[in-house]
Amino acid sequence: MKPVYESNGYVEQFVLGEGDLRFAVKDTLDVAGHQTRAGCPALADVPVAGQHASVVSTLLEKRCQLTGKTTLHELAFGVTGINPWSGTPLNPRYPALIPGGSSSGSAAVVAYGDVDFSLGTDTGGSVRMPAACCGILGFKPGFGVLSRHGVMPAQSSLDCVGVFASDAAVLRQAMTRLSVPVGEPLDALPAMAFISAASEDIDATLLNFLEQQGVTPQQAPLPDLNDAHRAGLTLISHENWQAFSPLLSGHQVSPDVASRIRAGADVSAEALDAAEQIRATFTAQVDALLAKTPLLALATLPELPPTLEEAADPLGVVNLTRLVRPFNLSGHPAITLAVAERRGRPVSLQLIAAKGHDGLLVQAVEWLTGRRQA
């Protein structure tokens, strides 16, 4: 693969299957007969996959057509989506902004309109983050809802296969074909609680949007949200060290990604235990809130998405995952939808539902976007 500095989101285009829905997949999911390179030069010469990832097989069997594999932030370990080796996709709707990572290409091909939907992976916001940057829908089902068989890395306590779509009707079709029950469209939106955790102007924008839809959520605290973000960083650091440290010996991993992988070697057993304790405490807090109200609402990103120039230092933007990463730690389903703009940049709302209620998030987005269109 030759270095590419700007792309439409694809690293490889081909056609597999026949059907009425077109989709693309992040290059961390196996496709039989094709390499899985994860945007990393260290994997440039890996053998082709012998079989499809489970979710890819399911979609091909359900009359979906696969159009290719998409670029990503190297080894799915970054939030900007910038990758000078496998390509940095142009953000179709906001060209000056980052496409978001790590599933940058999967977001871009949907925003371009090249496919009906796409698959990404979300370990610390890697579907919701690029969806928010590109102004489209990004859905992270609950942990374990979609199979990770044939997905890199093989082992993760945080990672989920997720789905991008430009509208809720297509998202419903994609989730139905993935055997995730959605249920009939809602006549009324269930009650929700709002968690104020972003910048003041973003929270005000989101509350104004909800008010325009006739929704007045109750304010609710989520005390360990920031601790959950940090615990998630600890766990992903440790798990990515375990998964990717063998790739560092050949010096073919980009310096910023390599340094983040190496940091995982220093995560102590005590730090892992503390992170797991926070996981348990935070999960209980979210469950308690969802026992009182079916939906939680908060910003997807705590700040407006940065420009490519503003994101030149990859470590300077890790805080952008502060509101998405906690729900990888807890394993709850989460979805993001763009609802407004500020200063020419998208503002996105994140909704959280109880475990096992993934379909409610699709129904809620249908209701909210249907009201907005009406």
pLDDT of residue 6: 67
pLDDT of residue 316: 76
SS3 content of the chain, % helix, strand, coil (to 5): 40, 20, 40
User: pLDDT at residue 9 above 60?
Assistant: yes
Mean pLDDT of 67-90: 96
User: pLDDT at residue 4 above 80?
Assistant: no
Mean pLDDT of 32-38: 98
Strands 295-299 and 334-342: unpaired
Per-residue model confidence as pLDDT tens digits over 93-135 = 999 999 999 999 999 999 999 999 999 999 999 999 999 999 9
User: pLDDT at residue 372 above 90?
Assistant: no
pLDDT of residue 373: 66
Peptide bond into 221 cis (omega under 30): no
Domains of the chain as residue ranges with CATH: 10-373 (3.90.1300.10)
- The answer to whether the CB of 223 falls within 8 A of the CB of 250 is no
Residue 269: phi and psi, rounded to 5, are: -60, -35
Closest CA to 101 of 254, 283, 294: 254
Q: Return the structure tokens found at 252.
A: 């073919």
pLDDT of residue 66: 98
Rg (CA), the chain: 19
Dihedral over alpha carbons 46, 51, 54, 57 (to 10 degrees): 130
Predicted confidence band at 3 (pLDDT cuts at 50, 70, 90)? Answer: very low
Mean pLDDT of 336-352: 98
Peptide bond into 102 cis (omega under 30): yes
User: pLDDT at residue 321 above 80?
Assistant: yes
Q: What is the pTM of this model?
A: 0.97
Percentage of the chain beyond pLDDT 90 is 95
